[in-house]
Amino acid sequence: MNVFERMESEVRSYSRAWPVVFDRAQGSWLHDEDGRRYLDFFAGAGALNYGHNPPVLKRALMDYLDRDGVAHSLDMFTVARRHFLTALQETVLTPRALDYRVVFPGPGGANAVEAALKLARRVTGRTTVIGFTNSFHGMTLGALAVSGNAAKRAAAGVPLGHTVSMPYDGYVDAGNPGGFPELLDRMIGDSGSGLDKPAAVIVETVQGEGGVRAATDEWLRALAAVCRRHSVLLIVDDVQMGCGRTGPFFSFEDAGIVPDMVCLSKSIGGYGLPLALTLIRPDLDVWQPGEHNGTFRGVGPAFVTGAAALHAYWSGNDLEKAVRRAGERLALALGELADSHQDAALTVRGRGLAAGLGFRAAEGATAGDIASRVSAEAFRRGLLVETSGADGSVVKLLPPLTVTDAELDQGVDILDASITAALHT
């Protein structure tokens, strides 16, 4: 481990909680160099929805490499790019009657967000974008400005501008889910409100990094209605919650809304390779050629594994059904966990296979301390789960969507033991 400590910046974080060196991986399991294996309920922070190195994707990738397929092409046309676009159209857009154009904004989710914000501002001629409490959209300056985490914001070293943070669903009063879109409606419509008319609203349907907070469908619909009423663009950041994490391919499908733009990344590449998309309503496509560009907008291997994943997992609705079922199983199990650890006052959150266990402060330990201990105990027991939320008080569970029931149960069992250990030591 000396190499890492000597050469890497202090900014690294996951390696502090899990101080082993991982080597190989398969399905729901990571193996360290000493041969120990770990059940992975972290799944690349949502980038590995199909588990590690799924064989069908691996085969497609190795074939592509073997035949010297184009590895890097910026925005040049390639066979792999066409294959990916076609797969996206056939397995995702057409079945859902969605009409979007595709921007390849750069390799990661922050690029997808930056491109969406740029285009929203350019199309509307307005500068303000509304984000939400506890949101997370990325670390580049534009994306960071709509992210809620104070420490990450402060690290920018400049005041973050042209954005306003509004309360997310349930922020102030869980009993009044419609409250906030009404306030936004009023402020946008009022020429004395001091809120400059926004270009766009950017929202996650479930806030993963923010502590696994799920907005209700009603709230999302109310928000979409406010946007429509005032011609404000609605951007759904589906980087972590898309690609089936909550059940359907897009996390907003159950709410029945159609965003003006959608940001995708993480699992869209299938194999954990960098790929990102910004889907935009065709009439918003006012870009001039080259106004937005970037080197890694044509990663052949990611096109190949991404297309293979769409074909393998999204040709029908089997995965969606499986995720919904597994999500229910997980929610049930977590509910039982909460019941059996009444002293811990656990809250169970999330949707589909994005779940959270919220902890409370107790006996001189902050909620974050306790969640951290639970995560550490789980690691000792061979389970990878991270904490989330600005105060780190929520243990976040993102198992691969391909997790088996046995694995799911095993993970919950480890969690159970870890909570006991964390609370009673």
Q: At what angle do helices 405-423 and 367-380 cross, to 10 degrees?
A: 130
- What's the min distance (Å) between Cβ of 42 and a copy of itself? 9
Q: With binding defined as CB under 8 A, does residue 405 bind a copy of itself?
A: no
- What's the min distance (Å) between Cβ of 421 and a copy of itself? 23
Q: With binding defined as CB under 8 A, does residue 402 bind a copy of itself?
A: no
Q: Which of 53, 216, 347, 366 binds a copy of itself (CB under 8 A)?
A: 53
Closest CA to 112 of 8, 267, 5, 320: 267
Q: Which is nearer to a copy of itself, 108 or 333 (CB)?
A: 108
Q: Tokens for 90, please give them.
A: 């056939």
409 touches 416 (CB < 8 A): no
- The footprint of a copy of itself on residues 131-190 (CB under 8 A) is 131-135, 138-143, 145-153, 155-165, 167, 171-172, 182-183, 186-187, 190
Q: With binding defined as CB under 8 A, does residue 325 bind a copy of itself?
A: no
Q: Which of 36, 79, 315, 328 binds a copy of itself (CB under 8 A)?
A: 79
Residue with tokens 């857009």: 93
Q: Which is nearer to a copy of itself, 125 or 364 (CB)?
A: 125
> Residue 372 phi/psi, 5° resolution?
-60, -45
Q: Tokens for 247, please give them.
A: 């059940």
β-strand partners of 202:
235
371 touches 395 (CB < 8 A): yes
Cα 154 to Cα 139, 150, 164, 168: the distances in Å are: 11, 6, 16, 21
Q: With binding defined as CB under 8 A, does residue 62 bind a copy of itself?
A: yes
Q: With binding defined as CB under 8 A, does residue 21 bind a copy of itself?
A: yes
Stretch that binds a copy of itself, among 105-113, 251-259, 347-355, 401-409 (CB under 8 A): 105-113
Q: Which is nearer to a copy of itself, 28 or 134 (CB)?
A: 134
Local structure of residue 353 (DSSP, 8 states):
T
Q: Tokens for 197, please give them.
A: 């008319």
Stretch that binds a copy of itself, among 97-105, 219-227, 312-320, 404-412 (CB under 8 A): 97-105
- What's the min distance (Å) between Cβ of 248 and a copy of itself? 21
Q: Which is nearer to a copy of itself, 277 or 333 (CB)?
A: 277
DSSP string for 161-212: -SEEEEPPTTSS-TT-TTHHHHHHHHHHH-TTSS-PPPSEEEE-SEETTTTS
Q: Which is nearer to a copy of itself, 83 or 373 (CB)?
A: 83
- What's the min distance (Å) between Cβ of 201 and a copy of itself? 13
- The footprint of a copy of itself on residues 183-242 (CB under 8 A) is 183, 186-187, 190-197, 199, 210-211, 239
Residue with tokens 């409490």: 133
State the pairing for strand pair 277-280/101-103. Answer: antiparallel
Stretch that binds a copy of itself, among 67-75, 217-225, 227-235, 324-332 (CB under 8 A): 67-75
Q: With binding defined as CB under 8 A, does residue 90 bind a copy of itself?
A: no
Q: Which of 13, 35, 339, 342 binds a copy of itself (CB under 8 A)?
A: 13
Q: Which amino acid is at 168?
A: Y
Distance (Å, rounded) from C-alpha 279 to C-alpha 282?
A: 9
Q: Tokens for 141, please give them.
A: 């300056």
Q: Which is nearer to a copy of itself, 79 or 332 (CB)?
A: 79
Q: Which of 70, 98, 331, 338 binds a copy of itself (CB under 8 A)?
A: 70
- The footprint of a copy of itself on residues 269-308 (CB under 8 A) is 271-274, 280, 285-296, 299-301
CB half-sphere exposure, 148, CA atoms < 13 A? 24
